[in-house]
Amino acid sequence: MIEDDFYATLKLKTGEEIFCKVAATEEDNRTLLLVSHPMIVSEIRSKNGIMGYKVEPWLKTTTDDMFIINLDDVLTLSESSDIEMILMHQSFSKESSSKDSSKNKQKIDRRMGYISSVSEAKEILEKIFKNS
């Protein structure tokens, strides 16, 4: 049976800290967590002291948005009602979902920059090098 979804920060035994939407389920006498759109949040400060957040996906080499984590691999779990974090997660989820859809992919054209073959680029760079 899957429990209701909730937002939480998970600290894994590997040291990773992720924020995600979580649903817990029991299977074969073990508790599994179904995590949706897990993200890593880092605080960043600009040179003038303004603080902000950097949000990035937990796993960067996959397009999956749902993962299963064994509760035995979790050091601690903290349910969150922080509206700022929840709104960041919802925005992150929408953005990552829209990136996956093929309709948002752009085709390369000359307005984006100069397009050439490797041999053409090599020729141009050699000319620039010889003339400098």
CA proximity to 27, closest of 1, 64, 9: 1
DSSP label at 108?
A: P
Q: How long, in residues, is the chain? A: 132
pLDDT at 69 over 90: yes
6-131: CATH architecture: Roll (2.30)
5-44 confidence digits (pLDDT tens): 999 999 999 999 999 999 999 988 899 999 999 999 998 8
Question: What pTM was computed for the model?
Answer: 0.69
75-123 confidence digits (pLDDT tens): 999 999 999 999 999 999 888 877 655 445 566 666 666 667 788 878 8
Return the domain boundaries, the chain. 6-131
